[in-house]
């Protein structure tokens, strides 16, 4: 969806806040943010959307992955003030009516998580991977999911879950082992 562009002042000084408009999980939101606030901290601290996780805060783990205008992005490296006019989907937005997204269901079925902390980032990343349509083998899934670190080591199950959904959608023929 597109958002009405309600551009803020072009220049703001120091600790002044600025108003931005974003579409967050399909809902138009007008928010006051400080320029030093990252999108991740905006979500977690100000909007209580704690499904998006902070694992490293430096783009080195992928736990904070959200989908911005259709692209998976590390929200920890994005300044909130620069998101004006963008459509952002977080883990909370993947099952708005309560019905799990097929990848969420596949994660449960394949036991693709343990502690659960990297999981929202993995799922947002996986949903984007499926939409990108570039991964057509387990090997490619592995490489295209390498931006999401899982310290519990659930990687094989994460690949299984994504493969299941790609197969369901006809994007991938199931590889047969032996």
- Binding positions for another protein, 92-121, rule CB under 8 A: 92, 94-95, 100, 104-105, 107-109, 111, 113-120
Q: Assess contact for 121 and 59: CB atoms under 8 A.
A: no
Q: Is 32 in the site for another protein (CB under 8 A)?
A: no
Q: Let me know how long the chain is.
A: 178
Q: Is 49 in the site for another protein (CB under 8 A)?
A: yes
| Residue 87: both structure tokens together | 């459509």
Site string for another protein, 135-174 (x = CB under 8 A): --x-xxxxxxxxxxxxxxxxxxxxx---------------
Q: Is 89 in the site for another protein (CB under 8 A)?
A: no
**CA nearest neighbour of 28 among 99, 101, 88:** 88
Q: Is 88 in the site for another protein (CB under 8 A)?
A: no
Which of 62, 88, 127, 166 is the binder for another protein (CB under 8 A)?
62
Q: Is 131 in the site for another protein (CB under 8 A)?
A: no
Which of 26, 32, 36, 167 is the binder for another protein (CB under 8 A)?
36
Comparison of 35 and 171: residue with beta carbon closer to another protein: 35
Please give the Cα distance from 110 to 166 (Å, whole number).
Answer: 14
**Contact residues for 176 (Cβ-Cβ < 8 A; gap 6+):** none
Which stretches does DSSP call E strand in 93-164? none
Which of 28, 29, 32, 58 is the binder for another protein (CB under 8 A)?
58
CB of 4 to another protein, least distance (A): 16
Report the Cα–Cα distance between both ends of the chain, in Å, rounded.
45
**CA nearest neighbour of 57 among 44, 72, 48, 68:** 44
Comparison of 139 and 169: residue with beta carbon closer to another protein: 139
């Amino acid at each position: 969806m597109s958002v009405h562009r309600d551009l803020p002042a072009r220049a703001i000084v120091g600790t002044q806040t600025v108003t931005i408009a974003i579409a967050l999980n399909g809902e138009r939101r007008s928010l006051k943010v400080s320029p030093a606030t990252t999108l991740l901290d905006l979500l977690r601290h100000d909007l209580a959307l704690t499904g998006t996780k902070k694992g490293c805060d430096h783009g080195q783990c992928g736990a904070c992955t959200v989908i911005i205008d259709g692209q998976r992005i590390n929200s920890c490296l994005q300044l909130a003030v620069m998101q004006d006019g963008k459509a952002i989907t977080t883990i909370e937005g993947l099952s708005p009516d309560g019905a799990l997204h097929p990848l969420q269901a596949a994660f449960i079925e394949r036991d693709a998580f343990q502690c659960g902390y990297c999981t929202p980032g993995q799922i947002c990343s996986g949903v984007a991977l499926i939409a990108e349509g570039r991964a057509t083998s387990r090997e490619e899934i592995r490489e295209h999911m390498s931006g999401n670190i899982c310290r519990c080591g659930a990687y094989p199950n994460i690949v299984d879950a994504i493969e299941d959904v790609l197969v369901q959608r006809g994007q991938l023929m199931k590889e047969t082992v032996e």
